[in-house]
Amino acid sequence: MTSTQLSIEGSIAWHERAQKVIPGGVSSPVRAFKGVGGTPRYFVRGEGSQIWDVDGNQYIDLVGSWGPMILGHAHPSVVSAVQRSAALSASFGAPSPNEVLLAEEIVSRVGGAVERVRFVSSGTEAVMTAVRLARAAASAAGGTQRNVVVKFAGCYHGHSDALLVQAGSGVVTLGLPNSPGVTPGAAQDTVVLPYNDLSALEELFATRGHEIAAVITEPTPANMGVVPPLEFTDTNGVHLNFNDHIRRLTSAHGALMILDEVMTGFRISAGGWYSKYIAPDGWAPDLFTYGKVIGGGYPVAAVAGPASIMDQLAPVGSVYQAGTLSGNPVATAAGLATLQLCDDSLYATLDQRAAQVGSVIADALTAAGVPNTLQSGGNLFSFFFTDTPVRSFSDAQTQNVAAFNAFFHAMLDGGVSLPPSAFEAWFVSGALTDDDVTKIGRVAKVAARAAAQVIGA
């Protein structure tokens, strides 16, 4: 179902113009609504939990720019930090204090696992840098060249060539698992395994462990829908989850572990997924990647880790990485103002709101007879319109996309903006109100009936 009861003439007109000058009319593919059908909305304003399109339609925002808008839109502290910094110049292309302050804030939040932070402008760049650094560090430590990077099907780590192999996010939404333009040379050093498949990982390390530079993972994949790491119990009754096993195997074979916290970093807790779910178990990955929240809606991302590895980056070491706008003073001011408001009380609110929204949606779907599975990783969550839990990318293919799309459009018509894809996480902000949750529940009842019609429930 792609028709809408709202007046969206303005969005339709902008999308026609956009398609004449921008491929598909969009600067990032999922925004084009190809996965759900219909016309994307063109937005002009946001405040708190609400956003407005060019036609004046108002929506509760559960996309949050795909994660960065953790405080809601146009938070006064972030707006004034940006205004103050922008008035002093947009960019110097030279060191400036804001990037140091933001790096100090990140270091203080993650404890000893992060001693150095190198800023870039997107998560893609951060991961690209982390992979280069990991290859160099693992090769130097082992004394032989290690080229292989292991990733998991359905995880998305940005659009650099080496990682655009069986990726999630827009790649799965559009059904383009392996992009043309990625050379066999770039793809041959990337090994893709099924997520949560411990035997496959153990077997790979047993046969090719000496070639592996790094394993990269999302701590809870959230780009094929949310898929938490499974727990495995060994013959001695010891419980270790999939992340624990990645660390155990990489350490044993001289490979690095890259924890891609671009989505989860500083969204799940004050120190990201790592501080809440990994640090208590006493281990750390070798490198982290961050993005989204650390820019508060502006282009900031980072690779981070211990000095012993990070100082292999130029100019201290010989691994090259650079950027004209890296550590931009305005963007880092926005990130710092955002992080300073990300305290324990905000994380408690996010957890509560995620649980509330998940529960009103699940109730509505269940009442309408629509099979549904709510999957969560901290305050990130998504719905699979199926009865069975999803543990991997191949399980995620059981998603009932037609039912999701009917639900999505009815929610949008009712004034609730969800991610325009059946395979993306939903994002709550600290600005959501009790009234918003009530409205989401009310609209979900109508939307669930639309989904029920599609599946004939």
Ligand X SMILES: Cc1ncc(COP(=O)(O)O)c(C=O)c1O
User: Site residues (CB under 6 A) for ligand X?
Assistant: 66, 122-124, 127, 156-158, 169, 218, 223, 260, 262-263, 291, 301
Other CB atoms closer than 10 Å to residue 239's CB: what's the count? 9
- Joined together, the tokens standing for residue 3 give 């028709």
Whichever of 11 and 223 has its CB closer to ligand X, that residue is 223
Least distance (Å) from ligand X to the CB of residue 88? 26
Q: How far is the CB of 421 from ligand X (least distance, A)?
A: 12
Nearer to ligand X, 220 or 417 (CB): 220
Closest distance between ligand X and the C-beta of residue 154, in Å?
A: 11
Q: 378 — alpha (psi -120 to 50), left (phi > 0) or beta? A: left
Q: CA 386, 392, 394, 396 torsion: positive or negative?
A: positive
Query: Alpha carbon of 296 to those of 46, 84, 162, 236, 452: distances in Å?
Result: 14, 15, 28, 45, 37
Alpha-carbon gap, residue 234 to 236, rounded angstroms = 5
Question: Of 173 and 373, which CB lies nearer to ligand X in the complex structure?
Answer: 173
Q: Which residue's CB is nearer to ligand X, number 331 or number 450? A: 331
**Cβ atoms of 259 and 274 closer than 8 Å:** yes
User: Closer to ligand X at the Cβ: 8 or 288?
Assistant: 288
Q: Which is nearer to ligand X, 215 or 443 (CB)?
A: 215
Least distance in angstroms from the C-beta of 321 to ligand X: 15
Q: Which of 291/329 has CB closer to ligand X? A: 291
Question: Structure tokens of 161?
Answer: 């060539």
Q: How far is the CB of 378 from ligand X (least distance, A)?
A: 14
Number of residue whose CB is nearest ligand X: 123
Residue whose structure tokens are 């995880």: 155
- Give which of 351, 357, 355 is closest to 442, Cα–Cα: 357
In whole angstroms, give the CA distance from residue 42 to residue 60.
15
Using alpha carbons only, give the angle 252, 256, 260 rounded to the nearest 5 degrees: 130
Q: CB-based burial of residue 450 (10 Å sphere; 0-12 exposed, 13-18 middle, 19+ buried)?
A: buried
Instruction: Name the minimum Å distance from CB 365 to ligand X.
Output: 25
Cite the active site residues: 156, 260, 292
Using only C-alpha atoms, what is the Rg of the chain? 22
Please choose, from the candidates 372, 402, 394, the residue with its C-alpha nearest in 3D space to the C-alpha of residue 384.
372
Report, in Å, the least distance between residue 222 CB and ligand X.
Answer: 7
End-to-end alpha carbon distance in the chain? 16
Amino acid identity of 262? V
Q: Dihedrals φ, ψ of 223, to 5°?
A: -115, 10
